[in-house]
Amino acid sequence: MERLTGLDAAFLYIETPSHHMHVSMVSVFDAKTVPGGYTFEKVRAVIEERLPLIPMFRRRLVEVPFRLHHPIWVDDPNFDLDYHVRRIGAPAPGGLKELCDVASEFTSRQLDRSRPLWELCIVEGLEDGKIGVLAKVHHSTIDGVSGAEVMVHLFDLEPSPAPKETEEPVEPAVPERVPSDVELVGYAAWSLARQPFQIASKLPSAVRSLVDVVRRRRDSEGPSAPAPFAAPRTSLNASITPHRKVAAVTLPFEEVKAVKRAMGCTVNDVVLALCGGALRRYLDARGELPEEPLIAVVPISVRNDPDVETQGSNQVSALFTSLATDQRDPAERLRAIGEVTRAAKDEHNAIGAKMLQDWAEFATPALFARASRLYSSMNLADRHRPIHNLIVSNVPGPPFPLYLAGAKLELLCPLGPVMEGAGLNVTVISYMDTLDIGLIACRESVPDLWDLADGFRDALEELKEAAGVPTEPPAPTAATPSPEPAVPQT
């Protein structure tokens, strides 16, 4: 039995029928690499075998009566793997767009809170002997880094790996006894009694951090991080519905790194510049490009920070940064993004990586949940300036191939949640020699999501040209031989 941290629980409290808080994944595997041939049963058997290594996949929520305190996790005594792992056939012709159409419907449905908060769907019948794997896990259970840890347990480094060895044998999960309401209320009362002392201990450091940020902004001569509620309104920014739309695009990672080297910036700066370039094209084509730059929220992992002690499934913070969509020149856009992002990181460090987690611990569950539902049901996101325009996440992935039940992973696109008033999420991950970009949006806010996805290729070409990175011409192949010189007729 384990109580959720405040930050983990917050992802439950802000969820509404239209505001889903699961993170998802669209992936494509080459089933032709499976030794002995692909079957659904082989994939299911691997997942069942690895379940003891992923305890979060067997635990479910138990709410405290009257929502006096954060819920707890218990091992599900009625766990049913067949509920969580299913399969479906892909619509013809079975390409990436058809897979994303299935993912759109898959991500539009909330997870059942009476069961462990994850589902996995195998999509069979993709073109060229491939299969798709769709997954969704509630954000209260997982963040980007812990999601990568799940991949370590599920995926292999070769099609036919040796049995996984552990230092100690993994014992089969034993269903826990669900605590009684009296026990839950007693535990909550004890925890709540300590909260005033905890708040008093954290308040001085929070005040010092805020004063430090104000001082930095006042004394700084360069750009500063955007503030919440400073984002311009666009069609992306409205109250959302339960309906989602998914798209994906893959870019050559070496070209992205070449731009980084030529411009003397970071890969994350280039990723943000790609987003800014694609969104500028998209909004300009719709006649709604704002004069002010779009503002993105960028999640930051604090899991590997040696100075931060954290608990729970989510060990993240976030910063606000500009996408410089007001800059026409791609090189100037990239430089502006780098300057603002560095300022945002400095302010984030001044506030402290643990601030979000510390204060989320004191969220009142019942009040928080009611406020979220009221905000959503009254469409209040339409009545004030957007807090931000979108979320952009950048997750480093493995530079080597991965396999699931012998099938080689070819495409890996994570998808984060969209937020009330910010109906677009862009999540980027590197895998081998590609940069895979997953886009998920409120269908009504971004109905032509594939137009935006296609703009990422144009944005990369713009950056390459601005950075002086050459584009290699495609090498001739046997299927497209070089033309022979014409022979005069006699």
Other Cβ atoms closer than 10 A to 29: 29
Which among 38, 84, 67, 108 has a CA at the least distance from the CA of 403? 38
- Alpha carbon dihedral 404, 406, 410, 413, in 10-degree steps, equals -10
Residues in the chain, overall count: 490
Q: Out of 20, 69, 70, 139, which one is annotated catalytic?
A: 139
Query: Residues 439, 444, 445, 446: is their CA dihedral positive or negative?
Result: positive
Distance from C-alpha of 426 to C-alpha of 415, rounded to nearest angstrom: 7
**Which stretch of DSSP H or E encloses residue 246?**
strand 244-252
Contact 245, 305 (CB under 8 A): no
Distance from C-alpha of 289 to C-alpha of 348, rounded to nearest angstrom: 29
Contact 323, 338 (CB under 8 A): no
Apex 279 CA angle, 343 and 136, nearest 5: 90
3-state secondary structure of 222: coil
Distance from C-alpha of 61 to C-alpha of 27, rounded to nearest angstrom: 28
Reply yes or no on whether 139 is catalytic: yes
Q: Which residue has the tokens 């004063």?
A: 211
Contact 84, 381 (CB under 8 A): no
Residues acting as catalytic residues: 139
